[in-house]
Amino acid sequence: MSEACFTAADILLPAAGVPLDPWACIAVDQFTSQPEYWQRAEHLADGKPSTLHIVLPEAYLGTPQEAERLESIRRTMEEYRKSVLTRKVHGYVYVERTQMDGTVRQGLVGAVDLDAYDYAKGSKPAIRPSESTVVERIPPRLKVRRGATLETPHVMMLADDPGCTLIEPIGEKKEQLRKVYEGDLMLNGGHIAGWAVEDPALLAQIDSALNALGSQEAFDARYPQAKGGAPLTLAVGDGNHSLASAKACWEELKKTLPPEQQLTHPARWCLAEVCNVHSPAIEIEPIHRVLFNVDCGAVLLALIAWSDSHAAGICFGDAKQQSFTLAGPHVANVLSFEHPVAPLTVGTIDAFIEYFMTRHIEARVDYVHDEPAVRALCRQGGVAFLMPPFEKSDLFKGIVMGGVLPRKTFSMGHAEEKRYYMECRNILGEE
């Protein structure tokens, strides 16, 4: 393999006769509070080849079924390696996912170099998480990856590619490529199609585009405030903790390998799909904050006091740098900070909320995607910080300038639009 942070891989696919519904299932971290979803998925996949049988939905974590399912996963992986995953792509898979609104999300499935990624605070590798990693969420995922023979990805990476140089040119040539799958996904997941990208000229083209995106020159031009800093090539859009778990597993294994094997062992890489953050099909929505068991007037007074003590320069209206809406049961005010304490509005607000909650132990905070839902909670007594629209450029700006984004900063699409498990890869180093 090359030393690129995202590269071609030996990708395994089920036999041509295997239907995508139920083969492909949604990411395990979805519908964790809705076990009925997973029961329906289990019913659809019962007795049929399905990635559901080689992953552990988080809805089952800590349940009596967990240990039994882990054992079953190991057995099923071995079975699928021999009898189901009979097709191979050496390269990338170009993917088109038709979403609920009819837009088509384009992506490239390939291998992320885990040595080019780090979730440790303050690190600045070529691949970076988009939000703070909660290390407590890694061990349950390690249970599945340790000793596993296969991986299947739901990680979605984002490239800051306004010129559309990486993925879109491959899409323009899809008619010349070998289609490797197409069909509808289970439980309202929409439609998906994939094409093998194996031509050496196209592989070189992808490498060239990726190298250009990750160059110092491109970094300095995109982020002049951070000129001369360590270039950022890709950011994790979804699946931060899954990629972190793959990294943790690799670091464990790496210690047991001689240096020459560390360079080539397949567990050094992790399958992921890369999308262009500038694609019209990529929607990034803000996640709002709602406080409960508090008085709106008291929150406003505390906010003014906090701003004064931190010289943040809060004022009424949206004339300053970072604007937001403070809404309560009977009133809503647009406010803004002249001298914010964080690169993004959400970071400044979170700094205040942390300050406020240490002084008001009765307060509780929730993170809500949908603005009408926020307004409804306000009518019931909640006090909300409504975030401004999340600009796509803010995602990478926040990562570059702030290290990572605050947790629960943004959401990428609806739950049903998250990546479904489809492709697989051998991570043991044995065929």
Tokens 């990856």 label which residue?
145
Please check whether residue 124 is in contact with residue 107, taking contact to mean a CB–CB distance below 8 angstroms.
no
Q: Write the pLDDT tens digit of every residue in 191-207.
A: 999 999 999 999 999 99
Neighbouring CB atoms inside 10 A of 210's CB total 24
CA distances (Å), origin 426, targets 11, 170, 257:
8, 25, 18
What integer best gives the mean pLDDT of the chain?
Answer: 91
Q: What is the CA radius of gyration of the chain?
A: 23
Please check whether residue 213 is in contact with residue 161, taking contact to mean a CB–CB distance below 8 angstroms.
yes
User: What are the residue ranges spanned by the domains of the chain?
Assistant: 6-283+413-426, 288-386
CA distance 191 to 185: 6
Q: Write the pLDDT tens digit of every residue in 147-157.
A: 899 999 999 99
Q: Output the pTM of the full model.
A: 0.83
The residue type found at 15 is A
Token representation of residue 351: 């700094």
Among 144, 186, 180, 213, which Cα is nearest to 6's? 213
The residue type found at 360 is H
Among 408, 415, 413, which Cα is nearest to 290's? 408
The residue type found at 284 is I
The residue type found at 25 is C
Q: Write the pLDDT tens digit of every residue in 365-380.
A: 988 877 888 999 999 9
Q: β-pairing, 156-159 with 269-276?
A: parallel
Residue 96 bridge partners (DSSP): 106, 193
Q: Which residue has the higher pLDDT, 123 or 76?
A: 76
Residue 2 pLDDT class (50, 70, 90 cuts): very low
Cα three-residue angle 227-229-234, rounded to 5 degrees: 105
Q: Write the pLDDT tens digit of every residue in 231-243.
A: 999 999 888 888 9
